[in-house]
Amino acid sequence: MTRTRLDDAGFPNLAAPARRALSAAGYTRLDQLTQVSESDLTKLHGIGATAITTLGEALRERGLSFHTGVPASDRLRGMAGSREVDEYLRGVAQPGRTTLQTLRRTILEILPEAEQVISYRVPAFRVDGETIAGFAAFRNHLSYLPFSGSVLSQLADELAGYTMTKSSLHFQADRPLPKALVRKLIEVRVAQGGRRSR
């Protein structure tokens, strides 16, 4: 049996719409498809039965397979947002970029199920459709955004020494927010629940 030939990116020969669909969803290597189910892949515009068969054969030949557990629909949606957040961060000067990358990792560690999005032109993190946290870079400071006007006032003691508005906590580009503080900010926001954000 002849092994399916792969291109430089590790994919078998696919029609252009299928390649574009994979690229748009953030899949740049064949082995990444082990993290997504067949049914989720078919939801991508441009991925049809032929592409699924070709990809499945290429995976099997290498001892791999599509993901067979919990559907990855949310992961597919989140990957596009993740790339948008990456793009936003590329536009931030150092040391702010590294500080915000640290904040991003902290938020995702606390909220691993969060979907990364751009909301109001800034990176944000949604859980079950509700925006829980976000951040932004400005010329003279960075901001943590709780997407609620009442989170910061509930943590007045913990936030003594920081500059803030009703809905934005300001911090210096070279001084990441402590993880424990980020956790408290997120806990207060999650506890509010109910009120939807965009």
CB count, 10 Å around CB of 188?
Answer: 18
- What is the rounded distance in angstroms from the CA atom of residue 13 to the CA atom of residue 31? 15
Which listed CATH number (3.90.1150.200, 3.30.420.590, 3.40.50.720, 3.40.630.40) goes with 73-192? Answer: 3.90.1150.200
| pTM value surpassing 0.85 | no
| pLDDT for the residue 75 | 44
> With helix as H, strand as E and coil as C, how does 106-154 read?
HHHHHCCCCEEEEECCEEEEEECCEEEEEEEECCCCEEEECCCCCHHHH
Residue 175 pLDDT greater than 50, yes or no:
yes
Residue 73 has pLDDT above 70, yes or no: no
The pLDDT value recorded for residue 107 is: 95
Q: What is the mean pLDDT of residues 1-12?
A: 68
Using one digit for the tens of pLDDT, what is the confidence trace for 91-129? 999 999 999 999 999 999 999 888 999 888 899 999 988
Residue 195 has pLDDT above 80, yes or no: no
Residue 125 has a pLDDT of 94
CA distances from 77 to 55, 99, 126, 140, 161 (A): 21, 25, 12, 33, 38
Which of 26-30, 46-50, 174-178 has the largest mean confidence?
174-178
For the residues 61-68, what does the mean pLDDT come to? 78
Lowest mean pLDDT among 3-7, 21-25, 175-179: 3-7
Residue 152's pLDDT is what? Answer: 96
Amino acid 156: pLDDT: 93
SS (H, E, C) 83-114: HHHHHHHHCCCCCHHHHHHHHHHHHHHHCCCC
pLDDT on residue 3: 63
Give the residue-averaged pLDDT of 166-187: 96
Please give the share of the chain, as a percent, with pLDDT higher than 90.
Answer: 47
| Residue 4 confidence class, pLDDT cut points 50, 70, 90 | low
Domain boundaries, the chain: 16-61, 73-192
